[in-house]
Amino acid sequence: MSLVETVANWLAPIDYETLAPEALIAQVLADADGAPICLTSSFQTEDMVVLHLLRQQFPTVPVIFLETGYHFPELLAYRDRLTAEWNLNLINAMPLLSLEEHEGQYGKLHIVQPTNCCQMRKVEPLMRSLEHYDWWFTGLRREQSPTRANLKKVEDHTTPTGKKMKKVSILADWTMAQVNAYAEEHQIPRLELYDRGYTSIGCEPCTAIPAAGADPRSGRWGGNKLECGIHTFSHKS
């Protein structure tokens, strides 16, 4: 290889798509160079695998959980258990209105206008929380849904406020079998709701057990939509 080719290789941008999760985390931490980083977590298996991997290199990573007020009690108990056992730097992102205030003004909005409910109790709190960070780790995977099929491992995003950040999905190319195998190998406790047949777990009133062989997210919102909006609100560059 000539000197020119060697220098060109040194200067070439990193191809994040070629990196395995551990290497991608290391590269992102290097590229962030001290810039604030967070992980959003619903405490489902994908997120727990990302968290397990991320904590090996960044033990105090802020973990943002969207506390909608409608979660399964089992999920909240699991969150609290893992937060204590793993000594997590947990941030519960809260909506502007308490659940009582919300239902007092809007009634059962999750039934009549679920998108608006998600906007108020998920999207808006997330946007506020992300204002403090420049790099955002997620547990998204391409296999999860048709809406995520073209997901890149690292994407440029701009929120409606104009905040620019990098969104990182280290498991983008993993299958659910790989996720489960990693969780089992590393003895990550299993959320009991999976054993009851749930495959994608959100707010309790809007989550059902999907039909056999159906899209894993088809049990969300009565099958009327696949996304709450937290991964579609920002502009993908």
Q: Is 228 a catalytic site residue? A: yes
Residues 117, 203, 206, 228: which is the catalytic one?
228
State the Cα–Cα distance between residues 22 and 205, nearest whole angstrom: 36
Q: Buried b / exposed e across 111-150, counting CB within 10 Å, b at 16+?
A: eeebbebbbbbbbbbbbebbeebbbbbbbbbbbbbeebee
Residue pair 62/89 in contact by the 8 Å Cβ criterion: yes
Nearest by Cα to 61 from 31, 42, 35: 35
State the Cα–Cα distance between residues 184 and 187, nearest whole angstrom: 5
Question: 45 in helix, strand or coil?
Answer: helix
Identify each DSSP E strand in 43-195 by its residue range: 62-66, 89-93, 135-138, 154-158, 164-169
Question: 11 in helix, strand or coil?
Answer: helix
Dig out the tokens for 84 from the structure.
Answer: 């204590």
Residue pair 27/14 in contact by the 8 Å Cβ criterion: yes
Nearest by Cα to 44 from 194, 177, 167, 158: 194
Residues noted as catalytic: 228
